[in-house]
Structures are given as C-alpha cells and as structure tokens.
Structure 1
Amino acid sequence: MIILSFSTFIFSAVYAYIYYNYIYETELKHSDEAVLQISQTISSTASIAAYLEDKDLANEVVNGLVSNDIIQSAALTNQQTVLAKSILFTEREAQSFDLPNPFILHESIGFIYVVPNTQFIRQNAREIALSSVQTLLIVIVPMLLLFAILSFFLISKPLGQLSQQLTSIIPGSAHRIEINEDHEFTEIGKIGKNINAMLSNTEMLFEQERSLRLEIEQLEKRFRLMFERSSSPTLLVREQGDVTLVNDAAKDLLAGMGIDCEERFPDNLGQYCKTPDILYTFTENSIQQKQVMQAEFEFTNPLTLSSVWLSIIILNTESDGQWYFQVFLADITSRKTMLNQLSHRAQRDSLTSLYNRYGAELTLVDWIDTHTEFSLLLLDLDEFKPINDIYGHNAGDEVLKHVAQSISYIVSNSDLVCRWGGDEFVVAIKTSDKHTINNIAQQLLEAINTPIRYERDGHQINLHVGVSIGISHFPTHANTLKGLVECADVAMYSIKKTSKNQFTFYST
C-alpha cells in the first residue's frame, strides 16, 4: 500500500510538471499570436499614416499599440523616416511587420516595430499554468488515490498472496496454489489456475526427465561395457589431443608396443612411427575436415625393435559443443607380412630368386617416371640350348642359377638384376657413363664364361655357356621401357649374328 501511495505521488508530481510546462508554453504561443493579430489589426491605419507621412496619426497608432498590456513599446516608420515611437523603444528587441501600400499591391511602404512585454507575458503564463495545475490536481489526486487503494486490495494483495504460495512450492512436487473463492472467476483466479496448470506440466516434465535420466544411465553403462570389452582397440580423444577413454584392447595393444596410453594423441604414436610427418598430417586433416579418415602406418616396437603395422581409422563426433574423435586401431602386421611375401613371390623368379619380368617392369617404370638415368643390359646366353638337349633340364637349371649368382656378385644392390625369361637376363645400372658400363659388361662376360661343374651319374662335367649383351640408355635411346628393351634387343642380336659372346651399345 505504501508503495502504491508513493507511486501515486510520483505519478501526480510528474504529470503535474508536464501539464504545467504544456500550459505555460501554450500561453506563450497565444501571446505571440496576440501580438501578431494586434499588429495586423492596426496595419491598415498604420499604412495610411506611413503613406501620408502623418505623424499625428502615426502617434495614435503607436499609443494604441502600447496601451495593450502585452506590448511594451512600438514604432512606426516609412521608407525614409521614423514617424512615431514610444518611450523605451529599442529596435534590437523589436519584432518588425511590413506595411503594404494602400493603393499598390505587393509594395511595402514602411514597417511597424513591436517590442513584446516579455516579463508580463511570462508572468501571466505562469499564473495561468499554475492555476490549471491546481485545478487538475484537485480532480486527479483523489482519483489516483482511490485507484491505488482499489489496485492494492483487488490486484496487488491477491498477487502477493499468489507469489508467497508459489515461492513455497518446490518445482516438480504435487503441491498447488490455493485459489480464494472470491477470485474464482476473476483474472487473479485465472492466473492462479494457469500457474497450477504450469506446475502440473512441470511435474510431468520432471517425471519424464527422471525416467529419461535412468534410461540414459543404463544405456551409458551398457555402451561403456561394450566399449571397454570390445575386441577392437579404441581410444576416445579430445580435439586438442587429450586421451579421455581407452578400452582394454587398446591398452593391451599399446602396452605391447611400449606406448603410454595417457600421452597426447598422436604424439604417443608419432615417436615410434617410421613416417611421423605423414601421421601428424593425416590426423590434422581428419580434425580440420571433420571426415572419416583411414590409413596404415609402420611402427618400430621399442621393446622388440621389430616392425609393427597399424591400421588407424579416425571418426569425428560432437558432444555438448565439444569435438571428439574416436581412434580405432588394428594390428595388421601379419596381413602386411603375408602381402609382402605374396608380393615378393609375385615379383621373384622361383628358380634364381632374381626379379622376374613383372617385378623388373614395376621397378624400371618407376625409374622412368622419376626420370632416373640408367643403362639397360639385355643378356642372352649362348650355347644354352644344347646343354638342355644333351644333359637335361636339371643341368640347364643349374646353369641358370650359376649365371644368376654370378651376375648378382657383380651388380650392386642399388641396381637391378632380373631373369627376363628363359635364358635371357636384364641388368639395369643407374648410370649412363659408358666407361662404367663397359667395365660391368666385361666382368659379366668373364663371370658367365667361367666353366660350371655339374655332377651327373657320379661324374663331374664342365658346362660352358657364353653370353651376348645388348646395351641401351634411358633417356638417350628411348623414353619408354618397351622402346628401351627393343633397342637393347637390336644391339644384342647384332652380336648374335656375328661373333657372339660379346657386348655392344645400341646405335641408330
């Protein structure tokens, strides 16, 4: 009630102040309009006085103006002289009005100068405004007090009671607001009913939330159990690299590799990875692009110093505004070993253990793609067919193994030796220096021409073969493998047709 009374007083004071200013400004405007009307009223007489230059008539006009309370002083002039002016007249404070020619339209023949009685006008405006405010307050204050009292008993007090009851109710409980019978069908009663409806909805939502929370807890336990007991090694990592969860399979895998699960990812793996830069780039791209990424990396096990291959899959996920990524690991060492063995078998000759034609072509094409200069020596054995025909294929196989071994002793590991097919061999040397190639070709001739001891039916037999060698250079003679082999083949057959057991370079 005190607050309402104080509010009523404040409202009344503010309203009275605004109303006072409004009346005051209105009265000032009325006074300005009155000065204008008075000036217009006597303008005809003043025009005649100015036209005739009649000073007596001009004095009467000025005296008539000054006799009005709102005008302090005045003056009347034509275009040349001052015809009349009152005492205390100052042109600096005066308002001027044109005097029209009584006989010629739109022609000015003089001016009336009027100085308003500002002090009187303002005093009069204040008195009128004050009187109006007093009258207004006599009417409005009792009405406002009555409104405040009614508002308190009909609105504020019932709302306060509702507020007290609402404060004591715990959200989600079965308690409700009690509605007074007097307010059963009033707006206060409607508010109370709406509040009770809201409390009922809140209780229902709380019950649903409790039920959902229990379900979520149960699901979380199940998923955590599935995560921890999963046979797939899995890590849950924050976007910054902090490892938050590691299942048992991942702990066993990383522990066996001597890797600390608590270290930041991928730093914990990077220090043992043989290509750490690629691993870091792979992880960074997955985080930035928010895409599923998969790659395979080779690691060195610090405990056994053996190679370990891991397949890494990174899956990004968002939860509560925080990005995580799930890291799935798989030890694929046995699969990689098997693939390497299969690849080795696919690229190697089973008799000589040298590269076969398929394996050699893969390497040579790579050299060509990377613009590596090399010389290709195509070797075809001389007098090999008679050995097969006379002593059998076993003897022929021994000759081929002996030749392969002899070539391997001469050629370095960085170069390539291949059984091209049948009794043909290919040697690729990473140089185009003719002197170096001459030396290697001469050594191959000498080594292959060395007699091969072969035991047959308890007897030692010396087997002899020669070799014809054709040589071509990349990229001098050809820029494709097929063209390079054809050039070496042309050079080799030029030896076969003449002397045999020699070497020569391809020439156009």
Structure 2
Amino acid sequence: MNKSGLLLRLAISIGFAAVFVGFISSQIFFKLAYQHNQDKTQANIEQLYDVVAPTANIAAYLGDQELAKEVINGLDNSQEIIAAAFESELFSIHSDTYQANHQKQTEFIVTSPFTPSEKLGKIIVQHNLAYIEQDSKEAASFLSNSLLIQALVVTSIAIFIAFYFITKPILIIAKSLHSLNPGTARRLKKPIFHDKSELGNLVEDINLLLEKAEDQISQERLLRSEIEVLEKRFRLLFENSVAPIILMEPRGNILLTNKAFKTLLERIEQPIKKNYGPILSELFETPELLSRSVNSAFLNDEIAIGEHRLKFKEQDKTIWLQVVVSSIVTDDLKSYYQVTLNDVSKKRDELDELSRRADYDALTNMTNRHAAEKQIDQLIKNQTPFIFVLMDLNGFKQVNDIYGHDAGDEVLIFVANQLKQLTPSDSIACRWGGDEFVLVLKNYNQSALEALAEQITMRICKPYTLISHQANVQVGLCMGAAFYPYDSSHKPELIHLADKAMYGIKAESKKKGGKNLAFSQSTDSLERKYE
C-alpha cells in the first residue's frame, strides 16, 4: 500500500479523530457516570431509610432496643451501607463494623411518630465506599468502553463509506487519468453513483480540459509539422543558395553561415574565422564606406544595399560584391544582422565593357566621337589649352571600291594603330567617323604639331599590304588644326574652323610633295598667341 495514498491518509485521519474524540468523550462520560452512580447510591440509601423510618420512630418512642437492632440489621443488609448506628435518649446501638471517624456517612433524624417535629434521636449510616467505588467504576467503564467501541464501529463504517464513495472513485479517476495520453480521443468515465455529484462534475471538467488539450495539441502538431516543412525548405534554400548568407551580431561575431560563404572564403584564400570585423569589414577595400552606407540606411529604417570591392582578388581579378544588410530584432530585444553577398563582378565587367563600347569605336578600338567630345567639353570647362586636329584620308574610297569594305576596314585599323602609337599619352586620338580621325593635343604648339604631322604622314602614307588580298595599297591624308582658346572658345566653332582648314588644303595634299596640314589662321599670329 502506498504510504502517501489517499485512502491510508484518510483512514489515519478519521481513526485518529475518532480515537481522540472517543477518548475525550469516554473520559467525560466516565466522570459523569461515576458521579451519577454516586448520586444514585445516595438516593438508594435515603430511599432505604424512608422504608425503615417508621419502625425507627416507634423504636425510639418506645425505647425498644430489639426493634432498634432490627432497624440497624435491616440497614446493614444493604451492600451500599457498611455500618449503621441508632442513637436516642434511651439507648445507643451500633453495628459491629461501625467506625467513629468514617470517611463518609449520612445522618437521619428520628422523630416521634405522633409529633413529627419532636426529635427523639438519630440514625447514622456509613457508606460502603469500596463497593460504591467499584460499582461506579464498573458502570462508568462499561459506558466509556461502549462509547469507544461505538466510535471504532462508526470510524470503520465512515472509512468504508469514504473508501467506497470517495476514495475508490478518486483512485479510479486518477488511474484512468494516469494511463490516458493527452491529445487522444479517450475520455474519463463517471464513477458509479456519481453522475451528478461533485466527482461527476470533476470528471466532466477534466473531459472538457482534455478536449481543449486535444484541440491545442492537434493545432500544435499541425503547426509543428508546418514549421518543420518550412524549416526544411528554408534550410534547403539557405544551404543551397549561391549567394553567401551570414547571420551575425553587430560587433561582428558570426553565428551562422551557409556553404556559399565558405566557398567564397576559399576563392579568396582566406581562413574561416568567427569574426571578420563589423559587417565583414576586414574583407573589403573600403570598410569605412561600407560602415557609413549601412549606418545611414539603418538610421532611415531601410535595408542597406551597396556594391563594394573585396580586398582580395581571384587570379588577379577584382571581385565586386553586392552587400545587402538587414537588421533583425528578436522578441527579447536582441539585435542581429543578416548579410547577403551577391557576386556582381560579371555585371561590373559587363557594365565596364558597355561603357568602353560606348566610348570606343568597335572597329579600330579607338576613342569614338561621343567620348572625344565629352573629353573636349571637360578640357574647355577646365580652360585647358589644346589643339584640335581633324584629318581625312585621301584615296580611301578607291580602296573600298576596288577591294571591298573588308579591305577598307583593314586600312582603317592600320591608320588607327599608327595614330595610337604616335599620340602622346596625355592627348586624345579618336575615330571621328568614316575615314576621318581627330587628335586633341594638350601642351602643343605649332612647331610640335608640324613635327607630329610629319611623323604621322610618313607612317600612314607609305604602301600597305592588304593581308586579305596580298595587294599593296597607299592612302594619303590631309589635316586641319584649330587652337583653343585662341581660335575659338566654343567647341562647335572650333570643329568648324578645323574642318574648314582641312578641306582648304585637301586638294594640295593629294599632290606629290604637297602640304597636308593647314591651320585655321596665319601661323605667325598663332605662334605668338600660343607661346
């Protein structure tokens, strides 16, 4: 039996209470019964005296000692009286067991049978204390024992009733509840005789709680299942993402990364660490710029997005990454950063290539007219002096007509290579359009330009062998020059002056030994202006 069981504790509690109450009650009733028996004994003695009183009155009145002895003997025959004495003016008679100083005795007045108020003597009755004490104890003990037995019987019945109607149903409910798994359709049954009792109501409440628990557990299981599916999908996305993803603390401690980030570190030959500085700043060439852009975005409650260059290269090739940083604040107010890195190196290369194509001629790989004009605008904005030289090829149309456009393209590439080789690094050489080319020369004067023009003429005007046709061709050229800001400070007018000078000398340039360089005004005045 379980020492902490409800039945045992209930039985002990009821038994203890019953014994305690029975003991106290038996003691009280013992005293009451004892006193009652004492009072009853006194009443019996008085009643016995009332029986012998007429005889005693006559004996005292007549002075008849024999009759008086009969009265004493009659009193002595009672078990409640141990001795008696009859004293009058005429005689004094005592029992053999009479004691002068008895502990308890009762005196009765003997009167005249004819005159009740006349006192003739007295009868002293000494109580049989031993008998009275024993009789009282026996009577009281019987009553108290009866009470104890009654208490035990009532206790047993109470325990049985409590067990059958309370403890046993509770134990059955507890056992059923213990074996029941929450979340199932199983429910408790009401105990017998408890359909509408408190225990029945308790079972109904428990079943109601079980139903709610089943609903909640079913919902939690469904949610858990959905979360597990979502977690697997997110894990799949996270692990298989081609973009490196990092979860980190604002101080830079990395908490979680995916495979793509480790692959990136292997590409740039960097060790795997727990911290690369705030927002991975140690990996980038401009950590200050990265930090400023992220802080600025966060101040505006925005996601930080920017393109930054890695400090490390892959096979001497610059790696550009798009850095996306979002701030995450949990329910317990902890802050984290989610950093996503997208490799935009190819896009940057394509943009650079597009930019280069926008500024360069596709055939000759020279600066095109659009790019050249932008650079000229910048020189004019900075008020930097320069010479604008426009040149046109002579005999190029014949090459195209005879050998085709492939041959013409080959000649244009040849002319462009010569110009690129002869043009100073701080100047501009571009294909202006068709068979026209432009040189923009800084820090040049007339004599320096004439010397350069002579070199260009020697290179370009010599016979050239067409690779595609194994034939020799020869082209000439004419050049017109205008000085900024001395001839004009406006680009359109400057171009017009150079064009006018070029076409002014074109006819002479086609002659053998003819001049092929012309200036927009007299050389003397220009020399003086520029120097």
Q: TM-score, normalised by structure 2?
A: 0.48
Q: TM-score, normalised by structure 1?
A: 0.50
